[in-house]
Amino acid sequence: MRGRNVRRLAFLFLVIGCGQAPDIVTVRVVAPLGLVEVHRTPMAPVQGIDRLWRRSHGERIDTVPGVRAVGPVRVVGDSLVIGFHAEDQGVPVVFQYDAGRGILRQSALPSWLNGAVFNPPPEFAPDGRHVLLVARQPDGMLRVEVHSWPDGAQILAGLPTRPNPEASHSPVISWGNATDFMASLPVMSDTGPIVLHFNGRLSGGSGQLDSATRYLDVKPPPTPGGLRPSALPTLPHAVRTELERRGCTVQQSHRSENVISGHFAAATQVDWAALCSQRGQSTILVYWGGAAQCPPELRAAPDYQYQMRAGERVSFVRSIRTTEHYQVHDAAGRPVLPQRFVKLDHDAIEDLNGDAASTVWSCQGGKWIAFPGSGSQKTRVLQNR
């Protein structure tokens, strides 16, 4: 009798909580049309019943009406979806979709975006507070810029560069999180065609770009064909379905199939990670098995930076694997000798580049912390998205 009363009280609590908890809102851009799907799942009113709540309440899916997204879209706050949309005439506009009320607003580009190059299109930061873009100057030169949104105040402007119209690579820009970003521009220099690779960071109301890394602009070998998620039987069905929905392939390396599992956020839950390759760029995607979580996307990087040629054979040398320790480095960022390792309280993801340096990513308190792997830099923190 007592057990029955407890079950009745629990059921009553769930009914009362229904409709009061906010929704978890995520978005997906469905290629090749750029359709924007908005996924809304009610959060459980109390912790510990997340899986039961999702099974009993399901997931509602909207599609932003009449929008064909150009570039990534973001969720700002609880339910505001923002991004860029190309109209039938090819004119880009800004769209904002309130997923909670189903209201779509579109507006012309602000004047400070008139010089933006839409190959690649500008990108909102994950928190929606800044826009990263490649801007064309009146003399035809290109430069990387970051502006605050929506006022358009210029936070950062790189040095102008002369574009290479016959480049083997297309320009690339990408946010790693709300403060860190990268850009890759094919340009002409005094020594010929090169590719400039920048890393940048925002801090307070300002930003900085590192000194550009220079690569010869040679035609890259074809990227080895990655596997479709359906060809990876070790993946759980839900993870495989999600990777298929995103249009991912998974590049294979000599070390790993690049799909792994482990206790990446807490020792009490099993999580999965996969190296998703899309449009020549791979990102670590993490699928959480419980309430302990960090941002689900990590460390996007162009695939061509991880290709190695041996004669006519091209191999992909980036890989991920599960680890539970990191290597000790000194204050200058050099490995301590003899080698010493520190055991973590739960599993982490090791991101490897062939036999070179690696980074150990550990999810701690909702943030990714990068610990040094062999030959890596010192510890740093990636803030929440």
Whether residue 224 lies inside any domain: the answer is: no
Contact 150, 169 (CB under 8 A): no
Whether 120 and 30 share a structural domain = no
Whether residue 11 lies inside any domain: the answer is: no
Whether residue 12 lies inside any domain: the answer is: no
Whether residue 37 lies inside any domain: the answer is: yes
Q: Which residue has the higher pLDDT, 300 or 160?
A: 160
Q: How many CB atoms lie within 10 A of CB 58?
A: 9
pLDDT at 96 exceeding the cut of 90:
yes
Taking alpha carbons only, the member of 147, 151, 149, 128 closest to residue 79 is 128
Q: Which residue has the higher pLDDT, 230 or 124?
A: 124
Whether 342 and 215 share a structural domain = no
Q: How many domains does the chain have?
A: 3
Q: What is the extent of the structural domain holding 325?
A: 229-382
Whether 127 and 173 share a structural domain = yes
> Model pTM?
0.55
Q: Is the dihedral of CA 328, 369, 28, 36 positive or negative?
A: negative
Q: What residues contact residue 322 under an 8 Å CB cut-off, 6+ apart?
A: 260, 261, 262, 347, 348, 349, 350
Taking alpha carbons only, the member of 217, 266, 272 closest to residue 242 is 272
Give the domain-ending residue among 72, 92, 108.
108
Contact 368, 376 (CB under 8 A): no
Cα–Cα distance measured from residue 286 to residue 252, given in angstroms and rounded to the nearest whole number: 17
Cα–Cα distance measured from residue 299 to residue 281, given in angstroms and rounded to the nearest whole number: 10
Whether 180 and 270 share a structural domain = no
Cα–Cα distance measured from residue 195 to residue 197, given in angstroms and rounded to the nearest whole number: 6
Whether 174 and 256 share a structural domain = no
Q: Which pair of tokens denotes residue 145? A: 């810029």
Whether 302 and 249 share a structural domain = yes
Whether 98 and 27 share a structural domain = yes
**Backbone dihedral angles phi then psi of residue 164, each to the nearest 5 degrees:** -105, 105
DSSP, residue by residue, 65-83: TT--B-S--EEETTTEEEE
At 198 the three-state DSSP class reads strand
Whether 373 and 243 share a structural domain = yes
pLDDT in tens, 61-88: 778 888 888 888 898 887 899 999 887 6
Cα–Cα distance measured from residue 108 to residue 262, given in angstroms and rounded to the nearest whole number: 46
Give the domain-ending residue among 108, 123, 141.
108
Helix, strand, coil proportions of the chain in percent (round to 5)?
A: 10, 45, 40
pLDDT in tens, 239-256: 888 888 888 888 888 777
Give the domain-ending residue among 66, 93, 108.
108
Whether 315 and 235 share a structural domain = yes
pLDDT in tens, 297-316: 888 888 877 877 665 667 78
Whether 276 and 362 share a structural domain = yes
Ranking 190-199, 327-336, 355-364 by mean pLDDT, the lowest is 327-336
Q: Which residue has the higher pLDDT, 310 or 327?
A: 327
Whether 353 and 234 share a structural domain = yes
Whether residue 9 lies inside any domain: the answer is: no
Whether 97 and 140 share a structural domain = no
Q: Which pair of tokens denotes residue 315? A: 């191999």
At 43 the three-state DSSP class reads coil
pLDDT in tens, 11-43: 444 444 444 445 677 777 776 567 888 876 665
Contact 137, 342 (CB under 8 A): no
Whether residue 3 lies inside any domain: the answer is: no
